[in-house]
Amino acid sequence: MTSTLSKSLTERATAILDLYRVQNLMIATAESCTGGLIAASLTEIAGSSDVVDRGFVTYSNEAKNEAIGVDMSLIETHGAVSAEVATAMAAGALAHSRADAAVAVTGIAGPGGGTAEKPVGLVFIGGARLGQTPLVERHVFDGDRSQVRQDTVLRAFDVLEQLTKLQRTG
């Protein structure tokens, strides 16, 4: 059976798994706009179970709250697509897993749903590592829904790579 993922996703996923394996670290994901594509990309690779602990697909606001503990008042104040919610999602994925690092994404993949303040292609990527201050990035990706989702996954892999460079302090 051949992979259903693009070559770039498969190559990056393999590199992330190798990096985490060498450092003996586990990953959790919390995904909204990608609908599980980050976790799917990682688990497409044979042997990924020694690195991937779990993935949360938290597409609805209720799922963000119930599955990973994102406070509904945070969503109501800042919106589901915000730096604050992406950070809370990453922290929640860490707290509800055995992982050492977590990446979370929330955004507007399109083609509809955008506004002047929050256009189609807007994505926030949060990263959390045990014992470290969470990080968050804001991106506006071009292209159709599929391209926005793929670009989000590739950038999430970059965030996961950044997280391996942080040393645990606690």
Query: pLDDT by residue (tens digit) across 16-39?
Result: 999 999 999 999 999 999 999 999
- 169 domain residue, yes or no: no
In a domain, residue 23? The reply is yes
pTM for this model (two decimals): 0.94
Task: Give a yes or no: residue 68 inside a domain.
Answer: yes
Give the model's confidence band at 89: pLDDT under 50 very low, under 70 low, under 90 confident, else very high: very high
Crossing angle for the helix pair 7-22 and 145-164, nearest 10 degrees?
20
Burial of 131 (0-12, 13-18, 19+ CB in 10 A): exposed
pLDDT in tens, 45-68: 999 999 999 999 999 999 999 999
* DSSP letter string, 57-107: E--SHHHHHHHH---HHHHHHH-SSSHHHHHHHHHHHHHTSS-SEEEEEEE
User: Per the structure, how many domains does the chain have?
Assistant: 1
Gap between the Cα atoms of 96 and 81, Å rounded: 21
Is residue 51 a contact partner of residue 100, using CB atoms and an 8 Å limit?
Answer: no
Domain that holds residue 93: 7-164
Q: Rounded to whole angstroms, how far apart are CA atoms 139 and 111?
A: 16
Q: How far apart are CA 163 and CA 127, in angstroms?
A: 7
Q: Is residue 92 part of a domain?
A: yes
Report yes or no on 170 lying in a domain.
no
β-strand pairing of 101-107 with 122-129: antiparallel
CA distance 112 to 119: 9
CATH number at residue 12: 3.90.950.20
